Amino acid sequence: MKYLVTGSAGFIGFHVTKKLIENGHEVICCDNLNSYYDQNLKFSRLSNLFDDDLFDVAEISKKILKWNQSKLIFKQNKKKSLTFYYLDIQDKNHIENLFEAHNPDVVIHLAAQAGVRYSITNPEAYISSNLLGFFNILEASKKFNIKHLVYASSSSVYGSNTKLPFSETDAVSHPLSLYASTKKSNEMLAHSYSNIHQLPTTGLRFFTAYGPWGRPDMSLFLFTKAILNNEEIEVFNFGEHKRDFTYIDDIVDGTIKVSNYIPEASSKWDGKRPNQENSSCPWRVFNIGNGNPVPLMDFISNIEKRLNKKAKIKFLPLQPGDVPETHADISLLTKLTGYKPKTSIEEGVNNFLDWYVEHH
């Protein structure tokens, strides 16, 4: 199978790409290597994918400024059936050239501007990447008859919902952040393409992914760094948060299982009682979570225990755009794909801390 993975230098994109290669698939991947967070981490992920130091941290920033994007291709490993392109999904012509050159079977679209809080201060980045960029992926997928487009949505679409656990049958019309709004928009845009063009699309509502190679703006990374440096950690909602923390290996397993489950129009669709569990066209959305929410303070306790060091905690009110608790109902994904998360919070935190100590 030939896969195109966008956002391959990102946290989830890197792990998905790595697993697909290990499973013997041909992978074409791309990333714009933006500076939302430390680019060195992105370069290190790419070096890991290619098993070499071509993405040298000391030289890569200079090279990015000199690259001629009209050539697009930056690195290829024929032995691994892996090709990386340095491009931005906002460039429609380059995206179409990429699709035409490789004609992938399945697209796993993970490139996006991430982060709830960043969307408050930098809204333009979300409109450009998450809406315009996604539109370009939809157009190319339609034009080149992609067998299945799988894309990243988010648990944040549940917004102000308070009924737990969050289910695909729930209405998601009250987002609390611009980031959540763009992800909800992605689901609706995909539905229109599935309906008009019969393009099979599946949205993945990820629940708080964590693990090795994670983003520096994620709580586990921030807490670990601060504790080791004897700095305060900021804990919002006065420590009353609960999160459905999902280890990266389980996220990857669910993503690949979904990519193999191509949606069809459902015979159970009832226009008088519509919900998002099924559709009259080849469109689906799935929760990918652990299914067992953990109190944030217990999460911090696991870090303290592993590091053998107490955290200095500064309690703060609930942040704008945040939700107090997330809990994924994963029964639909389990029923249709056999998905079953395997990693406990203790094991996942330990794996991250082992990686962090080694790399930082």
**Which residues does the annotation mark as catalytic?**
179
Q: Which two tokens stand for residue 278?
A: 């099924």
DSSP letters of 122-158?
-HHHHIIIIIIIHHHHHHHHHHTT-SEEEEE--GGGG
Residues 6+ apart with CB under 8 A from 237: 296, 316, 317, 318, 319, 322, 324
Sequence-separated (6 or more) residues with CB below 8 Å from residue 89: 6, 30, 32, 95, 111, 129, 133, 134, 136, 137
For the chain, the C-alpha Rg in angstroms (whole number) is 20
Distances, alpha carbon 218 to alpha carbons 66, 74, 329, in Å:
31, 29, 23
Neighbours of 237 (CB within 10 A): 17
Closest CA to 34 of 9, 16, 15: 9
